[in-house]
Amino acid sequence: SQTIHQWPATLVQPVGSPLSLECTVEGTSNPNLYWYRQAAGRGLQLLFYSVGIGQISSEVPQNLSASRPQDRQFILSSKKLLLSDSGFYLCAWSEGVGETQYFGPGTRLLVL
Amino acid sequence: DAKTTQPNSMESNEEEPVHLPCNHSTISGTDYIHWYRQLPSQGPEYVIHGLTSNVNNRMASLAIAEDRKSSTLILHRATLRDAAVYYCIPGLGNTPLVFGKGTRLSVIA
């Protein structure tokens, strides 16, 4: 069966510091991968998605970036965090774009 | 993009059925209708999806109107663990699913 992992589970970072969140999927090949953010009390915002290694689509311009160095690895990064980057970051995968998505446990990021 | 309309919130008594409505009047003929739910402090989880026919699984039932402009997620016996935000999402084929605001379901013991 397929599983999706995210780490860390929680993170507290100062403003201006870098960020690296990792997501890995097991039990499937060539998944579509997604990064979402959910600010406190708000809905899910799609940040990036990837249909293959090195292929990244950005949905919202901001100071975040994503990379897919391996088939089942998706990384969310920032060079300098802003207060507004605080939120609940969720990684998800699907067999195809627009198909059922399966979410990881998420990372809670607090930028102070 | 297909637009959806869901009530902001609904309330149900425990052990009673719950019918969560969704209007998606601009849905295209090939879009599936997906339902997810998000429990407190967790990521969304898949509930059910369908195209034209009603669908049943261990979690819920999905009733799709004949014209496909609306659908209803049915929880047959609500429990306290069903308290969550429920999202209705038309699948747009080759684009990622877009989550709206959903319906916040409260279950009263």
Residue A61 has a pLDDT of: 67
Give contacts of B43 with chain A, Cβ < 8 Å.
Answer: 90, 92, 103-106
Are A104 and B101 inside 8 Å of each other by CB?
Answer: no
Predicted pLDDT at B93: 67
Give first-to-last CA distance, chain A, whole Å: 38
Provide the percentage of residues in chain B whose pLDDT is more than 70: 96
| Model pLDDT for residues A38-88, shown as the tens digit of each residue | 998 888 999 999 999 999 999 886 899 999 999 999 999 999 999 999 999
Confidence of residue B2 (pLDDT cuts 50, 70, 90): low
B49–A100 CB contact, under 8 Å: yes
Mean pLDDT of chain B: 92
- Work out the pLDDT band at B85, boundaries 50, 70, 90: very high
The secondary structure of residue B99, as a DSSP letter, is: -
Angle among Cα B23, B90, B4 to the nearest 5 degrees reads 30
What pLDDT, on the 0 to 100 scale, is given for residue B1?
A: 54
Given a cut of 90, is residue B81 above it in pLDDT? yes
- SS3 state at B97: coil
Residue in A with minimal Cα distance to B86: A43
Instruction: Pick B97's closest partner by Cβ from A101, A104, A106.
Output: A101
Contact of A24 with A107, CB cutoff 8 Å: no
Rounded mean pLDDT, B22-38: 90
The 8-class DSSP code of residue B71 comes to: E
The string of DSSP codes covering A50-85 is EEETTEEEESS-SSEEEEEEETTEEEEEESS--GGG
DSSP string, B8-55: SEEEEETTS-EEEEEE-TT--TT--EEEEEE-TTS--EEEEEESSS-E
What is the Cα–Cα distance from B92 to B21, expressed in whole angstroms? Answer: 20
Distance CA A104, CA A25 (A): 9
B94: nearest CB among A34, A36, A98: A98
